[in-house]
Amino acid sequence: NTAHDVTAFGTGVFGDRKMFEAQAFEGKFRLFDVTRGDGVVTYDNTTGTNLDVFSLNKMFKDGSAVDAHANAQITYDYYQDTFGRDSVDDNGQVLISAVHVGNNWNNASWNGRQMSYGDGDGLRFHPLAAGLDVAAHEMSHGVVQHTANLIYRGESGALNESFADIFGAMVDRDDWLIGENIMADGTLALRSMEDPTDLIERRTEAPYPDHWSKRYTGTLDNGGVHINSSINNKAAYLISEGGDHFDVAVNGIGRDKTEQIYYRALSLYLTRSSDFSMMREAAIQAAGDLYGSDSDAVAAVEQAYSAVGVY
């Protein structure tokens, strides 16, 4: 009685019904998708044993498990379809998600091996697994780890966080907001790439920075990795959508070219200690490789980084 792929069904955190690949094994069904790489698997951390989110029929009722599993599949497919990348390591590594981690934990993480999702406290966050951009954010940390492996501190750490947000917004493609569907406190989102200053960052109680001159230089948050990420997020937004920012006009080139430029910069040119200035150079080089050194893409990258004060 070998395991085999089945189409299963479930209800997400917000009651949305969805369909996804799971596995039939020994008369039960479990959230192990054998059709993507070496697998996409989701388990319930409260009972602690791997693969144990199962159902006696093809209906799964744990909303966080359903959302985490479906969102991991969507994000796996994004990297495969957009860049030809097979999972976080480009070698099919099993994509593992754990749900119900911690006690009403208001966060989600990538720990070097797996994605973990908290349930949120219902005041700040709803269960974080419900956010497609959360799954894409966390899986993208895995991609960063297997490429530039940017040190998670200071400017390289802010780039690490920014790449997680950039690809998060490219997977959850209908806006430039991060966490917009899981906020329980009435705020617009956790972060905005379109206008970072729309939102107050809780550690500094100041608007997120949208220019290098406004960068955080303190020691909180590993030197502001979730704060200064907004400077690079704004540059990515401007490259794609264009706009006037601090009297610099940027002519946007769209999401498709923008995601290719960032993926190439991340996977070919950036290193562990790269800073914002090196990010500018890597993106110019990647844009030139892809679209020509005198292309609109190169011009957009130069304009966007100048607009946020990075040279």
Ligand X SMILES: CCCCC[C@H](S)C(=O)N[C@@H](Cc1ccccc1)C(=O)N[C@@H](C)C(=O)O
| Interface residue list for ligand X (CB under 6 A) | 107-110, 128, 131, 133-134, 137, 141, 161, 168, 178-179, 190, 226
Sheet holding 17-25, edge to edge: 54-55, 28-30, 17-25, 4-11, 59-60
Contact partner at residue 131 from Zn ion, ligand X, none, CB < 5 to 8 Å by partner kind:
ligand X
**Of the two residues 87 and 162, which places its CB atom closer to Zn ion in the complex?**
162
Among 280, 11, 293, which residue's Cα sits nearest to residue 127?
11
Instruction: Locate 143 and state its tokens.
Output: 């991609």
CB of 294 to Zn ion, least distance (A): 36
CB of 168 to ligand X, least distance (A): 6
**Of the two residues 60 and 117, which places its CB atom closer to ligand X in the complex?**
117
CB of 143 to Zn ion, least distance (A): 12
Beta strands 59-60 and 54-55 are unpaired
Contact partner at residue 143 from ligand X, Zn ion, none, CB < 5 to 8 Å by partner kind:
none
Among 88, 135, 164, 193, binds Zn ion (CB under 5 A): 164
- By beta carbon distance, the residue nearest ligand X is 179
The C-alpha angle 117, 123, 124, rounded to 5 degrees, equals 55
Kindly list the catalytic residues: 138, 226
Contact partner at residue 133 from ligand X, Zn ion, none, CB < 5 to 8 Å by partner kind:
ligand X
CB of 131 to Zn ion, least distance (A): 12
CA pair distance 36, 65, nearest whole angstrom: 18
Contact partner at residue 167 from ligand X, Zn ion, none, CB < 5 to 8 Å by partner kind:
none
Contact assessment for residue 262 and residue 283, using Cβ atoms and an 8 Å cutoff: yes
Cα dihedral sign, 55-18-118-22: positive
| Amino acid in the structure at residue 65 | A
**Segment contacting Zn ion (CB under 5 A): 10-18, 31-39, 163-171, 258-266?**
163-171
**Of the two residues 110 and 263, which places its CB atom closer to ligand X in the complex?**
110
Contact partner at residue 304 from ligand X, Zn ion, none, CB < 5 to 8 Å by partner kind:
none
Q: Give yes or no for residue 261 binding Zn ion (CB under 5 A).
A: no
| Count of residues engaged in binding Zn ion, rule: CB under 5 A | 1
CB of 178 to ligand X, least distance (A): 5
**Of the two residues 52 and 89, which places its CB atom closer to ligand X in the complex?**
89
Contact assessment for residue 36 and residue 77, using Cβ atoms and an 8 Å cutoff: yes
CB of 41 to Zn ion, least distance (A): 21
**Of the two residues 20 and 276, which places its CB atom closer to Zn ion in the complex?**
276
**Of the two residues 28 and 202, which places its CB atom closer to ligand X in the complex?**
202
User: What residues between 71 and 110 interact with Zn ion by CB under 5 A?
Assistant: none
The C-alpha angle 161, 246, 226, rounded to 5 degrees, equals 15
How far does Cα 127 stand from its chain's mean position? Answer: 16
Contact partner at residue 226 from ligand X, Zn ion, none, CB < 5 to 8 Å by partner kind:
ligand X
| Interface with Zn ion (CB under 5 A) | 164
